[in-house]
A = this chain, B = another copy of it.
Amino acid sequence: MEASSKEKALPQIVEVDLGNRSYPIYIGSGLLDQPELLQRHVHGKRVLVVTNSTVAPLYLDKVVDALTRGNPNVTVDSVILPDGEKYKNMETLMKVFDKAIESRLDRRCTFVALGGGVIGDMCGFAAASFLRGVNFIQIPTTVMAQVDSSVGGKTGINHPLGKNLIGAFYQPQCVLIDTDTLNTLPDRELASGLAEVIKYGLIRDAVFFEWQEKNMTALMARDPSAMAYAIKRSCENKAEVVSLDEKESGLRATLNLGHTFGHAIETGFGYGVWLHGEAVAAGTVMAVDMSYRLGWIDDQLVKRIHNILQQAKLPTAPPDTMTVEMFKSVMAVDKKVADGLLRLILLKGPLGNCVFTGDYDRKALDDTLRTFCKS
């Protein structure tokens, strides 16, 4: 087939409904070959692409081309950060500001995040803070970023004492998900993203969970249509929750199933040793264990969750080195603590139901921690 006659697949579009800050998520194959999609969301004549040393060699040229093709007025600068959660800190963030200022970008510029969740979070926070806020666009290239972190406007960096403690709620102009970028994604990263896909089923979408149980083999084999469906359904779930509760006064917190335990693993074990989704998977098992101890779910559901996580080759327990004390000290500074009380997301009732609550028997939490830790 010749390039000129190449058919352009129309993207699927999920709308994130946030009043005058609403924006579309475009999902599909070959979207980076459709420059008009990106260009309609670029404000001003200057663009800064923020990416990392892994993604830049694969997709930076393609993105620069998509931004500039037929659009000679636009100038693109780029900053390439080191890859990894351990660089999601103030020092690396400053490199983005340095580049933006050296390039003399002004308020009418657009930042583009090209990469996984770490890049999206850092670029988003940089965009929120540079000159007190400039436009930005998300081009997530991992499953994790495509189904979760690029959608909903949570941005930020880590502090040595905890994940995402410094940041902003800041919405992009659009999210562009070219599913072709998953072709270069390592298996472990793929599985990590699926932990969040599974989460949507567990907390609010039983039908989606059941679909996943039937299609996990296809997802693990990167079947394009299964993958596109899983991404779209995940984005729809996330967009709905975010539209109802942008600033996380309640409902939105349910997206953090397994994340409180998971963050403790990431912090205690060292950022980036386990991938985020791996920590979330182990954390989900712990939240599920606790929910079961409280008598809130039945053992059939516990088994199905173990099964699907194992199919996705995700961990179902924290690393051996984690202690009860490590969990407790990190959980004490969790963002979901209110006036000293730790609220957790726990499953309750049939598949697809959860609660966000501080009203649980402390003994169940202690028992869960002791069950999963050697000391």
Which residues of A pack against B, CB within 8 Å? 44-46, 90, 94, 97-98, 101-102, 104, 106-108, 125, 128-133, 154-156, 159, 161-162, 164-169, 247, 332-333, 335, 337-340
The answer to whether B162 and A101 have CB atoms under 8 Å apart is yes
Are A165 and B339 touching (Cβ within 8 A)?
no
Contact assessment for A106 and B156 in the assembled complex, using a CB-CB cutoff below 8 Å: no
Q: Closest B-chain residue to A332, C-beta based?
A: B104
Give 16 pairs: A residue, B residue, CB < 8 Å, sorted on A.
Answer: A45-B339, A46-B339, A90-B90, A97-B166, A101-B162, A104-B337, A108-B339, A125-B129, A129-B129, A129-B166, A131-B165, A132-B155, A132-B156, A132-B167, A133-B168, A133-B247
With a cutoff of 8 Å between Cβ atoms, the chain B residues found around residue A129 in the complex are 125, 129, 156, 166-168
Q: Is the CB of B101 within 8 A of A94?
A: no
Interface contact A106-B168, CB-CB below 8 Å: no
Which chain B residues lie closer than 8 Å to A159 at the CB level?
97-98, 101
Name the distance in Å between A326's Cβ and chain B's nearest Cβ: 16
Interface centre among A102, A125, A131, A333 (most CB of B within 10 A): A131
Measured between C-beta atoms, what is the minimum distance from A13 to chain B in Å? 27
Secondary structure class of chain A's binding surface, majority of residues? mixed
B165 with A335: CB separation less than 8 A: no
State the Cβ distance, A331 to closest chain B Cβ, in Å: 11
Kindly provide the distance from the CB of A254 to the nearest chain B CB, expressed in whole angstroms.
16
Specify which of A130, A132, A332, A338 lies most central, judged by the most chain B CB atoms within 10 Å of its CB: A132
Residues of B contacting A128 with CB < 8 Å? 168
Would you call A338 and B131 a contact (CB within 8 A)?
no
The residue on B at minimum CB distance from A102 is: B161
Given contacts A101-B161, A162-B101, A340-B106, contact A335 B131 (CB under 8 A): yes
**Set of chain B residues within 8 Å of A162, measured between Cβ atoms:** 101
Complex-state Cα separation, A332 to B46, whole angstroms? 15
CA distance A131 to B165 in the complex (A): 5
- A107 engages B165 (CB within 8 Å): no
Considering the chains assembled together, what is the distance between the CA atoms of A322 and B167 in angstroms?
Answer: 37
Smallest CB separation, A63 vs chain B (Å): 21
- Beyond A90-B94, A108-B338, is A101–B332 a contact (Cβ under 8 Å)? no
Report Cα–Cα, A155/B107, bound state, in Å.
Answer: 16
Report B-chain residues with C-beta under 8 Å of the C-beta of A107. Answer: 335, 337-338
Asked if A106 and B166 make an inter-chain contact with CB atoms under 8 angstroms apart, the answer reads no
